[in-house]
Amino acid sequence: MNNNLYQYLLQLGDNALILGQRLCEWTGVAPELEIDLALSNIGLDLLGQANQWYEYAAELKGGDATPDTIAFLRDAHEYRNVQLVELPNGNFADTILRAVIFDTFNLLLHEALTQSSDQRIGAIAARAVKEIGYHARYCKNWTLRLGGGTEESHQKAQKALNDIWDYAFEALTPGPVDHWAKEAGIGPDLEQVKSKWEATLQQVFHQASLQIPKPGFVDRKAKSEGIHTEHLGYILAEMQFLQRAYPNLQW
Amino acid sequence: MQDIDVKSLETAFQDRIDQEIKIEPRDWMPEDYRKNLIRQISQHAHSEVVGMLPEKNWLTRAPTLKRKMALLAKIQDEGGHGLYLYSAAETLGVSREEMVRDLLSGKAKYASIFNYPALNWADMGVIGWLVDGAAIVNQVALQRTSYGPYSRAMIRICKEESFHQRQGYDICLQLARGSDEQKRMLQDAINRWWWPVLMMFGPHDSASAHSAQSMKWKIKRVSNDGLRQKFVDQTVPQLEFLKMTAPDPQLKWNEERGHYDFGEIDWDEFWNVVKGVGPCNKRRLAVRNKAHDDGAWVREAANAYAQKNN
Ligand SMILES: [Fe+2]
Ligand SMILES: [Fe+2]
C-alpha cells in the first residue's frame, strides 16, 4: 500500500468527517429553522465526501477495511484532520468563523485537487468542489452579517476570530505527506494555496470590519503527527460508542 | 341584514366544501374554521420541529456513515416540513413569530409522541417505522383536507414521510437479523413506543373536542378510531415479519370484523402527557427555548445587516 497516499486520503476524509460530526450538533437547535437546514445540508455534504475519501482509502488498505472501519475504529492519534475542525461549535459566531477559515482553504484545496495526477482524487474533488463552493459562500455571507450586523454580533465575531486564529494555519502548513503529494502532482503546493487563502480572507474580514489578529502562529501537528486537541477524544467517544460497545455487528 | 349576509356566506361556504372545492386563502371562511385550522396546522408545524429532537439525540452516535447521513437527511426533512406548514398557516393571517411564541410559552401543543425519550439506537428505527408510519396514516387522510394550502403541503410531505418509514423499517430489519443484543434493543424500543404511537391518533371519537365540526368542514376526513384501526391492521404483519411482539396481550386478529382487536389505551397517561406531565415535556420545551434565546442575537444581526444594506 502507498502509505503516503493513504495518509493523504485520511487528511481529506477526516477533515470532512470531524467537521460534519460537529455540524450535526447544531441540528434542531440552530438560531433559526433556515439556518438549521443549511447547516444540515453542509453536514450532509461533508459526510458524503468523507465517505468517498474513505472508500478510496479502504480499497488501498485492502483486507476487511471499509469506510466505516476507517471512520469508527481508529484511535485519536490515527486521525489526520486539522485541529481547527475539532474545536467545539461554541456560539454561532464561533461556528461561522471556524467555517469561513476552513471552507476558504478547503475550496482552494479542492479546486487544485480537480487537477490531481490521481484521477480518482480528481473525480471526487470535482464533485465536492461545487458543494464546498456553496459552503464557502454561505459562511462568507454570515461572516459579513455578523461583522456588520449589530454591535453584539460584531463583538462576538471578533472574539471568535481572535480565539480561533492560531488554529487557522495548520491546514496551510505543509507536512511530509503534503510535500509528497506536491512532488507526485497529486496535491497542490500549500504555499501557493496559502497566499490565495490569505488574500481571500483579508478581503472578507475587511468587508466584515473584522481585525485579523496578530499572527499568533502555533505549530500544530494533528494532520501530520496525530497530536490533537483534548476535544477529539470526546468526539470519538460519542461517535464510536456503538461500534465499540458492540463490535463486529451490522447496523 | 348583516346576519342574513353571514348566513348566506356560510351556506355558500358549506356548499363549496360539500362539492369538494378547496378553500383558498382569499376565500371567505367562518372565523371558527380559520381558528381551527390555525390551531391544527401550527400544532402540526411545531410537531415537525420538536420532532427533530428525539432523533437528533442519536445523530452524533449513529453507528455507520450511511445511517448517520440518512438520519441527518431525515431530520432535515422534518425541519423542512415545519417550514412548509408554518407558511401554510401564515396564509390564514397568523405570523410564524406568533406561532413560535405560543409554542415556546407552552400555550400551543405539539404531538405528544415527541415527549417520550429515545433511549437506544433501535429507537431510530422504531420512530421511523411506527411514528412516521402513524403520521402517514393521519396525513394521507389530510391530503384531501378542505383547505387548499394545507392539502398541498400534505401531499408534498407524505412523499417524504413514506421514505422515512422505509428507512426506519430498514434499521429495524437489520437489528432483527442481528445479534441477541440488537434484538433486545429492538424489542425494548417497540415496547416503549407501541402505546404512545397508538395515542397519536387522539382520543376516541366520542371524547374528541374538535372532531365533529372538523369532519363537517372536511378539515378532518376520517375519524380518530378509524385511522388507529387502519394503522394497527397494516402494522401487525410488519411486526410479525420482524419476529418481534407488541406489548399488548389483547392484540389478535378478529376474523368476524376483518380487523385486529387491540387493548385499551391508558387514557390517564395520554391526558397527562397532553397536559405537559410526560417524560420529556419539560426537557423538549427547555431545549427549544434555549435554542431560540441563544439565537436571538443572530436573528437581530441578520435583520440589522439587511436594513443597512438594502
Ligand atoms: Fe415530517
Ligand atoms: Fe418524517
Largest CA distance in chain B: 75
How far CA B236 is from CA of A178, B115, B130, B202, B240, in Å, comes to: 57, 24, 11, 20, 6
Give the pLDDT confidence of A205-241 residue by residue, as tens digits.
999 999 999 876 788 999 999 999 999 999 999 999 9
Question: Between A30, A40, A41, which is nearest B295 by CB?
Answer: A30
**Residue B254, H or E segment:** strand B252-254
Model confidence at B214, pLDDT cuts 50, 70, 90, reads: confident
Q: Domains of chain A (ranges plus CATH)?
A: 3-245 (1.20.1260.10)
Give B 76-135 residues with CB within 8 A of chain A.
76, 79-80, 82-83, 86, 121
The model's pTM is 0.96
Give the pLDDT confidence of A136-171 residue by residue, as tens digits.
999 999 999 999 999 999 999 999 999 999 999 999
Which set of grid coordinates corresponds to residue B262?
387491540
How far CA A230 is from CA of A102, A226, A227, A242, A244, in Å, comes to: 20, 12, 9, 21, 20
pLDDT for the residue B53: 98
Give the pLDDT confidence of B94-116 residue by residue, as tens digits.
999 999 999 999 999 999 999 99
Query: What's the average model confidence in pLDDT over A3-20?
Result: 98
Query: What's the average model confidence in pLDDT over A78-94?
Result: 98
- The CA distance from A52 to the nearest CA of chain B, in Å, is 11
Q: Which residues in B lie closer than 8 A to residue A37 (C-beta atoms)?
A: 76, 79-80, 83
pLDDT for the residue A214: 87
How far away, in angstroms, is B78 Cα from ligand 2 center? 6
The whole-chain average pLDDT of chain A stands at 97
Do the Cβ atoms of B120 and B54 come closer than 8 Å? Answer: no
pLDDT for the residue A223: 97
pLDDT for the residue B213: 82
pLDDT for the residue A194: 97
Residue B45 has pLDDT above 80, yes or no: yes
| Percent of chain A's residues with pLDDT above 90 | 97
Contact call for B75 and A31, based on CB within 8 A: no
Query: What's the average model confidence in pLDDT over A26-36?
Result: 97
- The CA distance from A26 to the nearest CA of chain B, in Å, is 9
Query: What's the average model confidence in pLDDT over A174-197?
Result: 97
